[in-house]
Structures are given as C-alpha cells and as structure tokens.
Structure 1
C-alpha cells in the first residue's frame, strides 16, 4: 500500500475504451502532479464498444438542445478532430445525408434540422431532390438533410493515442486487469480486482461500458439505470459496390422505434458497410454466433424494465428479425435508400453490442448519465455519440470531480 502522501496523488480509471482512455489523459493534463492508472480487463484497449461501432464522428443532429449529449457532442467533435490532426490518426470528413422518402419523413426531417441548428451544427441544411442528386447521386429520396462535416475515424487508433499520452505523462496502463467493485473509505477508495487483490486510490472514475451497472451496483451505487445489451449487426458490401455512395446515407429516424435504423456507412479503410440493426443480445460481450451467455440472459430476463420495453416494441422487433437472419435481406433494406445496392452481395462483419441503459419503468435513458460517489465517479450511460464525445466527456468529468472531490488540493 502506498504512503498517505503518495496516495493523495493517486487516481485510477476503470475501463480501457475511448472514454476511459480520454478521462485518464484528461486527469494527467488537469493534474500533472498526480499519478494516473488506467485499468482494462482485456489484453488490449478498445476491445468492446469502441472497437465494434460504425466509426462515425457525429455532429449533433438528433439530440435535445441543452442536453449533455448535444453540448458534449459538439465540443467532442472539436477536440477529437484536432487531436487526430495533431497525432496523424485517420479522420475523413466524408459528409452525411438523412434521406426522406415520403411526406411523413419530410416533416420529421424538418424537426431534426431545427435541433441541428439549435445545437450549432455547422453548415447543415435541407436540400431538395435535385440537390441531393448532386451531393449523393446514389441516394433515393424526395428531400434530405445534409451535414457536410460528419466524418469517419479510427476510434481504436484514437484510444491508443490517448493511452500513449497517459504513459508519456508518467501514468500506467494495466491490461488484463479486471475490476470487480470499488469500496469507498473515508480517505479514498479501494479498487477490488477479479483476482481478489485490492489497491487504494484517492479518486476513481469507472468507465466500464457494458459492465457499468454491475460494477456500480457491486460498489453500493444505485441499481438504476441498468444495462440491457442490444447487438447491431454490420454487413460489409462486396468490392464491386464499394463506391455506391460518396459518404454516409442515413434514414430519417422513426420515433416509434428507439433506435436509428439501418444506414449505409463508408469505412475509414475504404470499404462500404450496411448497418447496424438493433436486436436484443443474449450476451453483453458475445460478438460471434448466437453469443449466448446464461448470466447475461438471466440478468435481462429478471429486469422488470426490459419486459415493459419489450411489450411496447414487439412489432418493430419482428420487423428487424429478417435482417438478423439474412445478410441479403439486410442489404435489401439498405437498397431502399441506395438503389444501386439492390444486387450487391455482402458478408457479416463482427457485430457491435450497445450498452443501452434503461430505467425501471422500461424507458430508455436518453442522455448521458454520470453519477458521483464520495471518492468515485461512475459513467452509467454513454452510448452513441459517446465515442465522438469522449474527450469532452473527459473534460466534463474532470472539471466536476476537481470541484466535488477536491482534486489537486
């Protein structure tokens, strides 16, 4: 155990995804005299949500103005784009269109445009069919919202660069080190590891993603919100159709369904990807095959909020089932947005699993949720645009913690 004087300068972060790495780096920037340790249970960083998403840097089109998602997304874009330029991490502003196919979707599109303007999204505009054809010739629709600065990125590459800064500042990155729970004491917090050992720190931030609720509950925090995992399947389009779009082509979200819907995304490596759908996952970390994990499945089954949610969304779930079972049916859905994909072939990529937080009444948590204990802070909900917002979330957490926990005093 470290001495008292040394322990006063010892901070830890649990979770080696992009948010955890960003928080660890921000702690070294804001408190250069502190020693920061980043713990990750896997043998490499960004092994879960960070490394299994669509790789899109969002601009803040959909989020309620004034919410944490809206404000931290906009700030996050500024920070992460600058960071990528400085570090040579792959980043490309390929642009994005949200395509309306009928009058109902046109009306929804106008509401999204109003939010985007209120959130300060730069150069966003509504375009008619002719302008859409100039911007994205492969897309089919009657009207669209164009966000020219939406970008694609190498999120794992960003995570590695953030962690490298932690090490360069004298901190540690400890892989293959799973954390079971925190035990808060009068003068700090004990981090209890999966192997039964423990270490004392003055302050800890938990950025555990898919396991965030479990670590929080085991540490004596609120049971809610609780994570219900949803997998998103991606399909890589054959090389002959990789140039079916210039940028990103998205549908207009249906407010009756809580997720975005299948879209067409360019990848930073040059490929074209369709997805994701959203379907209940039987595992929090099962990326292949059925992915059945009995404890994870039982955890969802015993969650009363899940059943309330499921009863409201069964019809939409059945609509998604075809794409889950058939990659070609999945691509056929995307062809409604980009007709040139109608005869495309594709193969499944590794799926992503979204750590969707849910309240006890079955409602999905709409905004980022960050909770504070006596000597620890818990990130309880940070799905998309969490990766985009990661460096801004880190700023926000460290600014709050510096005041609430007296860091640096």
Structure 2
C-alpha cells in the first residue's frame, strides 16, 4: 500500500494534525508512526496540564494566533467529547518593584491578543484570589484552565481511527528516501511508502526533518528539563488555583509557579535546566552522543554565553531543594522545604538556530515530499487543533 499521508509522531500535535486531515478528507489513506507503545509519551504526557490563554505571546505571531484559536477549538472539542477540564483562572504576581513595569506590559499584551475579563489587583486584592500569596501587584486571567492532555490525545486518536486512519506503534523512523513522488520511510521494523510525510516528531523533529529538508540543518532541538515538586496534601490549602510569577523577559521560560492539577494535587515548578539527553527525565539521564551534539552546536554555545548566570541558577535549584524552595517563597512565603516531595519532570523541545536564537515561534518547513513541524513549543498543547488545522490545510492543497 502507498499511503497518501504519513504523520511521524504520536504526540498532541501529530494526532491533532492527523485528525484534522481525516475530518476534512476521509478518503485519504493516512498512517501515524509512533516509536513508543502509547500516544503522548513524551512532551505531551509530561507537561503541567495547563490550558493557556495566549497571554504571553507577541501579538499576531503564530504562537498568539494559534493559541487563541486553538483555545476555543480545544474547549469546544472537550465539551463535545466529555473530556474533563476546569477554567479556574490564574494570577500573575509581581513580587519586586522592578517587575511592575513588566507586569503592566503583560497586561497590555493580553488585551492586544483579544483577551477580556482581566482584572488588575493590588496587594490586598491578590489575597482575595490566593490568600497565601505575597505580592506588590498582579492581575487575574480568567481564561486559564487545567486538563489532562493525555486524555485529549487518546480521544484524537480514537476519532482518527474511526475515520479510517491507522497507527503503527513501537516503530522508530530511521531513514526517509524519495523517488518519483513517493517517499519510503524505513522504521525499526519495516518500510512504508507514502506520497507525503508530515513530521511532528517533537524532541526529534530536527533529526526527522533533516531526512527530507536541508533547512532543518540550520536548527537543533535543545532539550530543557523542567522538574516539579508536589505539595504534600496537608499543605495544598496554600494554593487555590494557578499562581505565576512575572517572567524574566530575557529568558524564554515562565519561572517556577504553582499549578493545581485536574486529577488532584498541586505541582510547584518547573525550573529549566539543560537535559543531558533528549528524553532525559532524571538528573543523571545521559546520552553522550546527544549531549555532545548539543554542546557542539554553535547556537547553543552562544546561548550558554548569554544566559550562563541564569543557567547556573537553574542548575543550582535542580540540585538544591532549599534553593528551589526559596524561589517558591517569593510567591508564597509560608511554603517550606518539608512541604515538598519530588514530582515528575518534563523535557521541552526548544529549537535553537546557528546564531544562538531560541526560536520563540512555531517553525514549519515544507517542500514537495514533506511538511516538517520543527518547533512547536508551549503552548502547542493548547494550540494543537489550530496547529493541526494549519498543517492539514498545507497537506490538503496537495490532494
């Protein structure tokens, strides 16, 4: 069989793309290839389960437009498919005087991105939302929510299969060659022929991209591990919903925060440290080849030179529970080291170009044989149906 479309990657972006393709053209022969034995094994299954509002992203960027569109699509999908979620809202809090201007800028950016219902809060009003938070100024974002994205992925797959889509589990893509308009995908088990490859391989999207498009050689996925603590049950009263700090404008991560989870419990984190392998969820998970590739990449060396102080601080927090606790105490002074137990960790696939740019927006390369989604960072889970729609439109033009 020659498939019309083969999607590589069974994370939330790949599954949403496959679903959108089959919904709009059910006659297309579609295959998903996933190297693990279940969907959502890596980035999707290890994230914090937050439904993002689109607050942080540059107006009119792909991130902003896809997040806001995807947000509405996701909520509509969950309502129709009876997937549990909770729009509990969050507060963003400035704890230092120098953060107030950044906070005010974020407030304006949210309004530029079309969000409404924002409410600016003084120090006393903050306590109406989160009684144990200490801050100088903040604001409330009603659109933010919580969900289990693995549940979403399972439903995406079930609906895709109902429309005739197929999935091959436990098969790692090893090479892709093209001849006379047909690509041969060699996996660890067999070969597949397809008219079009759609690469949604997440942490390995650059590697898969390099099999079909030279432009993918100009970036590398740099893995950053985010580690969480969980708050002991007897201290979970300290957090009602979601509490975020003002992010460092010079660093592409949001800072440690508090997140109530959809199935119960409260997470604190994550930090952001370089992972020593792409799927390195533990501190001592090391793949020497992958680590060497990261360190040898000229763009990463420029990133390290620029952010070395911040990076050392993040690494210190990774190995020092006391330092991690101190960062959390900026928001909730009552939290103590003994209130925290080690939680899960996730790895973010952050694309880095040769010049040391940490790509902030989605990166999609297309040519005759393939469409490569080579950077789909947070809020890709919230945005998944919108990203899937964007990619599926590129696909459907071919048929």
Q: TM-score, normalised by structure 1?
A: 0.94
Which of 189, 210, 217 is residue 210 of structure 2 equivalent to?
Answer: 217
Q: Which segment drifts farther, 169-178 or 153-162?
A: 169-178
| Equivalent residues in 2 for 1:225-236, closer than 5 Å | 225-236=219-230
Match of 2:185 in 1: 191
Matched with 2:249 is: 255
Please say which of residues 16-25 and 218-227 is displaced more in the overlay. Answer: 218-227
Residue 373 (structure 2) pairs with residue 379 (structure 1): yes
How many aligned residue pairs are there? 398
Structure 1: segments with no counterpart, 5+ residues = none
Of 201, 207, 212 in structure 2, the residue corresponding to residue 208 of structure 1 is: 201
Which residue in 2 is equivalent to 1:108? 102
Counterpart of 2:232 in structure 1 is 238
Cα offset for 1:289? 4.1
Partner of 1:130: 124
Deviations 1:241-291 (A, max 9, x none): 112111110110112323211111111111011111001110101213411
Task: Tell me, in whole angstroms, the C-alpha distance in 2 between the residues paired with 1:50 and 1:122.
Answer: 28
Alignment of 1:209-358 (within 5 A): 209-222=202-215, 223-342=217-336, 344-358=338-352
Counterparts of 2:175 and 2:364 in 1: how far apart (Å)? 17
Provide the residue aligned with 1:147 in structure 2.
141
How is 1:36-55 mapped onto 2 (pairs within 5 angstroms)? 36-55=30-49
Cα 1:319–1:343 shift into 2, 3 Å: closer
Shift of 1:344: 4.6
Moved over 4 A (4+): none
Query: Which 10-residue stretch deviates more, 331-340 or 274-283?
Result: 331-340
Structure 2 residue runs of 5 or longer lacking an equivalent are: none
2:384 counterpart (381, 385, 390): 390
Question: Could you tell me how far apart the structure 2 residues matched to 1:97 and 1:217 are?
Answer: 41
Counterpart CA distance in 1 for 2:283 and 2:275 is: 11
2:270 aligned counterpart, secondary structure: coil
- Root-mean-square deviation (Å): 1.4
| TM-score (ref. length: structure 2) | 0.96
Contact 2:206–2:374, Cα closer than 8 Å, also in 1? yes
The secondary structure found in structure 1 opposite 2:334 is helix
Q: Deviations over 1:146-165 (max 9, x none)?
A: 10120011000100100001
Give CA-to-partner distance per residue, 1:113-135, whole Å, 9 cap, x none: 11111111231232222221212
